[in-house]
Amino acid sequence: MTERTSRFPVLRACLLSLAFTSATPSFAAAAGAVQAAGVVDFRLENGMEVVVIPDRRAPIVTHMVWYKVGSADEPPGKSGIAHFFEHLMFKGTNNHPPGEFGQKVAEIGGSENAFTSFDYTAYYQTVPPEALATMMAYEADRMRNLVLSDDVIGPERDVILEERRMRIENSPDALLDEEVAATLYQNHPYRVPVIGWMHEMEQLNRIDATAFYDRFYAPNNAILVVAGDVDPLEVRTLAETTYGALAAGPALPSRARPQEPEQNTKRTVELADPRVTVPSFQSYWIVPSYTTARDGEAEALDLLSEILGGGLRSRLYKKLVVDKGIASSAGATYSGTSLDETSFSVYGVPRGDATLEDVEKAVVEEIAALVRDGVPVAELEKAKTRFLRSVIFARDSQAGMANIYGSTLATGGTVADIAEWPDRIRSVTPAQVRAVAAKYLDLRRSVTGYLLPQPATGN
Amino acid sequence: MTERTSRFPVLRACLLSLAFTSATPSFAAAAGAVQAAGVVDFRLENGMEVVVIPDRRAPIVTHMVWYKVGSADEPPGKSGIAHFFEHLMFKGTNNHPPGEFGQKVAEIGGSENAFTSFDYTAYYQTVPPEALATMMAYEADRMRNLVLSDDVIGPERDVILEERRMRIENSPDALLDEEVAATLYQNHPYRVPVIGWMHEMEQLNRIDATAFYDRFYAPNNAILVVAGDVDPLEVRTLAETTYGALAAGPALPSRARPQEPEQNTKRTVELADPRVTVPSFQSYWIVPSYTTARDGEAEALDLLSEILGGGLRSRLYKKLVVDKGIASSAGATYSGTSLDETSFSVYGVPRGDATLEDVEKAVVEEIAALVRDGVPVAELEKAKTRFLRSVIFARDSQAGMANIYGSTLATGGTVADIAEWPDRIRSVTPAQVRAVAAKYLDLRRSVTGYLLPQPATGN
| Residue bearing the bigger pLDDT, B250 or B359 | B359
Q: How far is CA A50 from CA A86, A222, A338, A406, B227, in A?
A: 21, 9, 20, 10, 68
CA–CA gap between residue A114 and residue B156 (Å, rounded)? 49
Are B186 and A187 inside 8 Å of each other by CB?
A: no
Confidence check: pLDDT of B17 > 50: no
Of B187, B364, B456, the CB nearest to A197: B187
Are B266 and A262 inside 8 Å of each other by CB?
A: no
Are A459 and B371 inside 8 Å of each other by CB?
A: yes
- Predicted pLDDT at B26: 43
- Predicted pLDDT at B457: 54
Chain A touched by B230 (CB under 8 Å): no
Are A182 and B186 inside 8 Å of each other by CB?
A: yes
HEC string of chain B equals CCCCCCCCHHHHHHHHHHCCCCCCCCCCCHHHHHCCCCCEEEECCCCCEEEEEECCCCCCEEEEEEECCCHHHCCCCCCCHHHHHHHHCCCCECCCCCCHHHHHHHHCCCEEEEEECCCCEEEEEEECHHHHHHHHHHHHHHHHCECCCHHHHHHHHHHHHHHHHHHHHCCHHHHHHHHHHHHHCCCCHHHCCCCCCHHHHCCCCHHHHHHHHHHHCCHHHEEEEEEECCCHHHHHHHHHHCHHHCCCCCCCCCCCCCCCCCCCCEEEEEEECCCCCCCEEEEEEEECCCCCCCCCHHHHHHHHHHHHHCCCCCHHHHHHHHHCCCEEEEEEEECCCCCCCEEEEEEEEECCCCCHHHHHHHHHHHHHHHHHHCCCHHHHHHHHHHHHHHHHHHHHCHHHHHHHHHHHHHCCCCHHHHHHHHHHHHCCCHHHHHHHHHHHCCHHHEEEEEEECCCCCCC
- Predicted pLDDT at A37: 65
- Predicted pLDDT at A455: 62
Confidence band of A230 (pLDDT split at 50, 70, 90): very high
Residues of B in contact with A183 (CB under 8 A): 183, 186, 267
Q: What is the residue-wise DSSP string for A308-355? A: HHSSTTSHHIIIIIIIS--EEEEEEEE----SS-EEEEEEEEE-TT--
Find the residue in A nearest to B370 (Cα): A459
User: A209 with A54: CB under 8 angstroms?
Assistant: no
- Predicted pLDDT at B57: 87
- Predicted pLDDT at A400: 87
Find the residue in A nearest to B256 (Cα): A77
Confidence check: pLDDT of A196 > 90: yes
Residues of A in contact with B77 (CB under 8 A): 256-259
Q: How far is CA B281 from CA A152, B6, B88, B173, in A?
A: 51, 12, 36, 11
State whether residue A454 is helix, strand or coil.
coil
State whether residue A108 is helix, strand or coil.
coil
Are A265 and B176 inside 8 Å of each other by CB?
A: yes
Of A191, A261, A459, the CB nearest to B368: A459
- Predicted pLDDT at B398: 80
CA–CA gap between residue B297 and residue B288 (Å, rounded)? 7
- For Cα atoms B456, B457, B459, give the angle at the middle one, nearest 5 degrees: 115
Residues of A in contact with B272 (CB under 8 A): 266, 444
- Predicted pLDDT at A399: 83
Confidence check: pLDDT of A198 > 60: yes
Confidence check: pLDDT of B231 > 80: yes
Known catalytic residue: B262? no
| Residue bearing the bigger pLDDT, B27 or B95 | B95
Confidence check: pLDDT of A28 > 70: no
Residues of A in contact with B194 (CB under 8 A): none
User: A163 with A87: CB under 8 angstroms?
Assistant: no
Confidence check: pLDDT of A407 > 50: yes
Confidence check: pLDDT of B456 > 70: no
**All residues at 6 or more sequence positions from B172 whose CB lies less than 8 Å from its CB, including other chains:** B271, B273, B275, B276, B451
CA–CA gap between residue A383 and residue A386 (Å, rounded)? 5
Cβ count within 10 A of residue B330: 29
- The pLDDT tens digits of the residues spanning A422-459 come to 999 999 999 999 999 999 999 999 999 999 998 655 44
- Predicted pLDDT at A397: 79
Can you state the percent helix, strand and coil of chain A, rounding each to 5?
Answer: 45, 15, 35
Strands B342-350 and B327-334: antiparallel
Of B267, B444, B456, the CB nearest to A444: B456
Confidence check: pLDDT of B185 > 80: yes
Nearest to B294 by CA among B346, B344, B333, B341: B341
Q: What is the mean pLDDT of residues A388-406?
A: 84
Confidence band of B395 (pLDDT split at 50, 70, 90): low
Residue B245 β-bridge partners: none
Q: Which of residues 179-208 of A touch B (CB under 8 A)?
A: 179, 182-183, 186-187, 189, 191-192, 197-200
Q: What is the residue-wise DSSP string for A195-207? A: T--HHHHTT--HH
Confidence check: pLDDT of A2 > 70: no
- Predicted pLDDT at A130: 96
CA–CA gap between residue B334 and residue B101 (Å, rounded)? 36
Handedness of CA A199, A200, A203, A204 (dihedral sign): negative
Residues of B in contact with A459 (CB under 8 A): 364, 367-368, 371, 441-444
Confidence check: pLDDT of A265 > 60: yes
Q: What is the mean pLDDT of residues A154-159?
A: 96
A136-157: b (≥16 Cβ within 10 Å) or e: bbbbbbbbbebbbeeebbeebb
First to last CA, chain B: 45
Confidence band of A254 (pLDDT split at 50, 70, 90): confident
Count CA atoms closer than 13 A to B36's CA, side-chain side. Answer: 18
Are A456 and B443 inside 8 Å of each other by CB?
A: yes
Q: What is the residue-wise DSSP string for A50-67? A: EEEEE-TTSS-EEEEEEE
- Count how many pairs of residues, chain A against chain B, have C-beta atoms within 8 Å: 126
> Does domain B267-453 correspond to CATH entry 3.40.50.1820?
no
| Type of residue found at A158 | D
Are B368 and A76 inside 8 Å of each other by CB?
A: no
Residues of B in contact with A189 (CB under 8 A): 76
State the fold for domain A39-245: Cytochrome Bc1 Complex; Chain A, domain 1 (3.30.830)
Chain B touched by A175 (CB under 8 Å): yes
Of A266, A271, A455, the CB nearest to B270: A266
Residue B269 β-bridge partners: A267, B449
CA distance B288 to chain A (A): 16
| Type of residue found at A332 | A
Catalytic residue among B49, B74, B86, B297: B86
Residues of A in contact with B271 (CB under 8 A): 264-266
CA–CA gap between residue B4 and residue B10 (Å, rounded)? 15
CA–CA gap between residue A94 and residue A372 (Å, rounded)? 63
| Type of residue found at B447 | V
- Predicted pLDDT at A395: 66
The total number of residues shown for chain A amounts to 459
- Predicted pLDDT at B320: 97
CA distance B67 to chain A (A): 23
Are B265 and A258 inside 8 Å of each other by CB?
A: no
- Predicted pLDDT at B4: 30
Residues of A in contact with B198 (CB under 8 A): 261-262
- Predicted pLDDT at A266: 98
Q: What percent of chain A lies above the pLDDT cut of 90?
A: 86
Domain boundaries, chain B: 39-245, 267-453
Find the residue in B nearest to A176 (Cα): B265
Q: Same CATH fold, B267-453 and B39-245?
A: yes
CA–CA gap between residue A315 and residue A330 (Å, rounded)? 9
Chain A touched by B107 (CB under 8 Å): no
Chain A touched by B265 (CB under 8 Å): yes
Are A197 and B179 inside 8 Å of each other by CB?
A: no
Confidence band of A64 (pLDDT split at 50, 70, 90): very high
Are B76 and A258 inside 8 Å of each other by CB?
A: yes
Q: What is the mean pLDDT of residues B446-455?
A: 92
CA–CA gap between residue A254 and residue A244 (Å, rounded)? 24
pTM for the whole structure: 0.88
Of B175, B265, B267, the CB nearest to A264: B175
Residues of A in contact with B187 (CB under 8 A): 79, 182, 192, 197
ipTM over 0.90: no
Q: What is the residue-wise DSSP string for A114-158? A: EEE-SS-EEEEEEE-GGGHHHHHHHHHHHHH-B---HHHHHHHHH
Q: What percent of chain B lies above the pLDDT cut of 90?
A: 86
| Residue bearing the bigger pLDDT, B393 or A69 | A69
First to last CA, chain A: 45
Cβ count within 10 A of residue B264: 18
CA distance A458 to chain B (A): 6
| Residue bearing the bigger pLDDT, B292 or B35 | B292
The CA dihedral of A271, A276, A278, A281, to the nearest 10 degrees, is -30
Q: What is the mean pLDDT of residues B353-364?
A: 98
Confidence check: pLDDT of A57 > 90: no
Residues of B in contact with A266 (CB under 8 A): 269-272, 456, 458
| Type of residue found at A266 | K
**All residues at 6 or more sequence positions from A160 whose CB lies less than 8 Å from its CB, including other chains:** A80, A83, A84, A87, A195, A196, A201
- The pLDDT tens digits of the residues spanning A290-312 come to 999 999 999 999 999 999 999 89
Where is A238: in which H helix or E strand?
A: helix A232-241
Q: How far is CA B309 from CA B302, B305, B330, B429, in A?
A: 10, 6, 7, 18
User: A277 with A453: CB under 8 angstroms?
Assistant: yes
Q: What is the mean pLDDT of residues A380-404?
A: 87
CA–CA gap between residue A321 and residue A339 (Å, rounded)? 34
Are B267 and A267 inside 8 Å of each other by CB?
A: yes
Q: What is the mean pLDDT of residues A232-244?
A: 96
CA distance A136 to chain B (A): 37
- The pLDDT tens digits of the residues spanning A90-147 come to 999 999 999 999 999 999 999 999 999 999 999 999 999 999 999 999 999 999 999 9
The total number of residues shown for chain B amounts to 459
Q: What is the mean pLDDT of residues B42-50?
A: 96
- Predicted pLDDT at B392: 81
The DSSP letter of residue A253 is P
CA–CA gap between residue A363 and residue A447 (Å, rounded)? 15
